[in-house]
Amino acid sequence: MISVAVPVPLRRTFDYRSEVDIKPGSRVLIPFAHRHLVGVVVPVPPDKSVRKHKNVIHVLDDRPSISPTMLEFYTWSANYYHHPIGEVIHAALPPNLRKAVKLYDPDTPEYYMQNSDIPEHEALSMITRAPKQEQLYSSLSKGKCLCFDEIQKLPQVSDIRNIRGGLQNLTKKGLVIQTHRPAGDLRPFEGTLNPEQSEALSNIKAAEQGFHTHLIHGITGSGKTEIYLQAIHDCLKQGQQVLVLVPEISLTEQLVERFVNRFGDRVHCYHSGINKAQRYRTWWKARNGTAGVILGTRSAVFMPILDLARIVVDEEHDLSFKQMDGFRYHARDLAIKRASLHDVPIILGSATPSIESMQNAHSGKYHLSTLRKRAGEANLPKIQFVDLRQQPTQHGLSPSLISAIRKQLENSQQTILYINRRGYAPIAECPNCKWRACCDRCDTYLTYHKTSNRLCCHYCGKTFETPEICPQCRSGLFFRGAGTQRIEESLGNLFPDASILRFDRDRIRSFRQLRDTLDAINSGQADIIVGTRMISKGHDFHGVTLVGIINADQGLFSIDFRAPEQLFQDLLQVSGRSGRGQDPGRVFIQTHHPDNPYMEMVRNQDYDSFFESCREERKLAHVPPFSSFALWRVESRERQDGFRFLRTVKQYGDSLLASMNLAAVKIMDPVDSPILRIDEWHRFQLLVNSTTRAHLHQLLKHWVYSVESIPNNQKLRWSLDIDPMEMY
């Protein structure tokens, strides 16, 4: 009898019978409620009391695909997030292995070179009447491995249509060898670290042995990445492996290039921008130890790694590390747990560390290194405010910002304009009767998109025809406010000769488009880039010397206690894109509230004061990191069902709490979510907080089981969010 973790939303394992002995960590195909599912054998004692058990249909792994350490890590994650273990393991596996396929070696030789044993004249005599093959053969060299992509780009073969076929023929004749590329030498840094960098690196090295967390707080462009590179270099020299997590795919590209430059083919990626076969290959190589660096977005935290020596989490403050639906985990937090399980050090880096991490550094839980100067020649940009109370804007742009952009164009320098809103205008309304276009599935306003001339809901994705006139009083409609498209249009009118590039999710839909767009920015083709938060993070563009922030006030008066932190991080991060090359950078921030204390700290780029005041506020309010949160979310088709369900949830919690004597825990009342209806689901939430994390989890462990047993139907769904990062 074996216990199997099955990918279904139930917090338990299921027992099956098997003729053969199956090791924990092996994938098996099992019958489950009229379906066949892929589950994973887990080391949980089967329940002997049950008589009737179904048989395993098929054992998919000859050797377990999941090691005992990884199984322990997945189990810990499931327990911490109170999420079904079957779903956790399912999310952790590469997509290919979620299906009923056997493990396979994807490591086919991918590189080509001339066969060095056959002299050239002899080889050429073997290619008769095939000029294209001859051409292809001559474009390769002995001893130099090229992959297919590289061969395709060679000018000598630009007129050959079927390169792959040609290579196959040459390989069959033995003239070309298909092989693996040797990893090559590790290339050292050619410059010298500045004193702050050297100190940080020696701090990291000094604490070398075993698990500990090191936080690098280094302003934008201070050379944090260079420190990661050197720390990683040392591990690779020993033949060990390193896991590197970044928040966004858009950041992997640039980082991969820098990493490959130094570490060659040891670098392997894992994120949704690469295809499933490539993800499987990374998984395979990570697991057998041949991938030196595994670089990926949040789900890479689950990669099995044979000889893990170190973990790096870049931009650790970034909210994208939090998975916001399904299995809601925080990849940075899991990375820290993972480092402790493997007993290896972990480096977190950021220009604007999260309040949580900095608090841990202050309390001595993390080691801290600080970099206050930009690396190399560059300096921090100068930030100035444009007071919107005194300067009226023209379609979002103030006269000061317009003239600054004009100067940029005259001097052939690049500008980034940041506005965290896609589309043309966030509101379509009637100036006469105040009618506003709303989504019929959500309680939200519709955003006007000029490119498609449609009204779009940014919550459910539904789009609507744009009415010519107000449906209530037949006046003409007015589009209020600005998004990226409107700013792009205004710039086009103001600067007809400039090349303007929009950088948002509507324009960049694929990894390829992303790559091309980044190339266009780096090569200087784009004069002005108008972008959402996508553009604000981590990029190292050397030609940008002006950043304009169209509207800094979003979020200044939000009810969410994390809003000031998010605002500060956004403004400082996007400002940090300015002046990273040789020329000094400037930042213009348009705001109605230049006197707001947080704005003042942004202007002074004063993280320390910002941290202090945030910390004091949170301490007084008893919110994280001074307490732990869990948030129940319920969604229902009928409004009253969800609320009723959540009231039952609360009752169960209250009575458990009364019997368990956990004084630190407080259960709030169920409330409507800030956006009450999305995609025809009514939404409610219930907040639980505790000054002691352990108490919270003790309660939740029992609570979640009792909630799971409440009869439920298709018209209601619920979830539990541990350490929620947003309250919507």
Residue 226, contacted partner among ligand ADP, Zn ion, none, CB below 5-8 A by kind: ligand ADP
CB atoms under 10 Å from CB of 445, counted, come to 19
Residue 495, contacted partner among ligand ADP, Zn ion, none, CB below 5-8 A by kind: none
94 contributes a contact to ligand ADP by CB under 6 A? no
Alpha carbons 529 and 540: distance in angstroms, whole number:
14
Kind and range of the H or E run holding 310: strand 308-314
Cα 709 from chain centre: 34
Contact letters for ligand ADP, residues 488-527 (x by CB under 6 A): ----------------------------------------
- Both tokens of residue 654? 């209250």
* Residue 197 C-beta: closest distance to ligand ADP, Å: 6
226 contributes a contact to ligand ADP by CB under 6 A? yes
135 contributes a contact to ligand ADP by CB under 6 A? no
Contact letters for ligand ADP, residues 530-549 (x by CB under 6 A): ----------x---------
Q: Which stretch binds Zn ion (CB under 5 A): 274-282, 360-368, 450-458, 536-544?
A: 450-458
C-alpha distances out from residue 525 to 22, 289, 497, Å: 59, 41, 13
Q: Find the farthest-apart pair of alpha carbons in the chain and give their distance in angstroms, rounded.
A: 89
* Residue 355 C-beta: closest distance to ligand ADP, Å: 20
* Residue 430 C-beta: closest distance to Zn ion, Å: 3
675 contributes a contact to Zn ion by CB under 5 A? no
Kindly report the length of the chain: 728
Contacts of 606 (CB under 8 A, 6+ apart): none
Residue 439, contacted partner among ligand ADP, Zn ion, none, CB below 5-8 A by kind: Zn ion
Calculate the CA dihedral of residues 394, 399, 401, 403 and round it to 10 degrees. Answer: 120
668 contributes a contact to Zn ion by CB under 5 A? no
* Residue 226 C-beta: closest distance to ligand ADP, Å: 4
Q: Which is nearer to ligand ADP, 190 or 465 (CB)?
A: 190
Buried/exposed 11-43: b ≥16 CB within 10 Å, e otherwise? bebbbbebeeebebbbbbbbebeeeebbbbbbe
Count of CA atoms in the C-beta half-sphere (13 A) of 279 = 20
Among 70, 175, 470, 574, binds Zn ion (CB under 5 A): 470
Which residue number places its CB atom closest to ligand ADP? 376
Count of CA atoms in the C-beta half-sphere (13 A) of 224 = 29
Torsion angles phi and psi, residue 362, rounded to 5: -65, -35
Q: Which stretch binds Zn ion (CB under 5 A): 278-286, 312-320, 351-359, 468-476?
A: 468-476
Place of tokens 């004091």: 616
584 contributes a contact to ligand ADP by CB under 6 A? no
Q: Which is nearer to ligand ADP, 351 or 631 (CB)?
A: 351
Q: Which is nearer to ligand ADP, 24 or 376 (CB)?
A: 376
221 contributes a contact to ligand ADP by CB under 6 A? yes
Among 77, 114, 225, 536, binds ligand ADP (CB under 6 A): 225
**Binding residues for ligand ADP restricted to 171-210, rule: CB under 6 A:** 191, 193-194, 197
Place of tokens 């169209």: 550
Torsion angles phi and psi, residue 207, rounded to 5: -95, 25
Q: Which is nearer to ligand ADP, 224 or 458 (CB)?
A: 224
Residue 194, contacted partner among ligand ADP, Zn ion, none, CB below 5-8 A by kind: ligand ADP
439 contributes a contact to Zn ion by CB under 5 A? yes
C-alpha distances out from residue 147 to 92, 252, 292, Å: 30, 21, 19
Among 397, 430, 602, 707, binds Zn ion (CB under 5 A): 430
C-alpha distances out from residue 577 to 220, 221, 548, Å: 8, 9, 11
Among 13, 26, 65, 222, binds ligand ADP (CB under 6 A): 222
Alpha carbons 208 and 343: distance in angstroms, whole number:
11
- Both tokens of residue 572? 């400082």
Place of tokens 């560390």: 353
DSSP 542: S
List residues binding ligand ADP (CB under 6 A): 191, 193-194, 197, 218, 220-226, 375-376, 540
List residues binding Zn ion (CB under 5 A): 430, 432-433, 435, 439, 441-442, 457, 459-460, 470, 472-473, 475
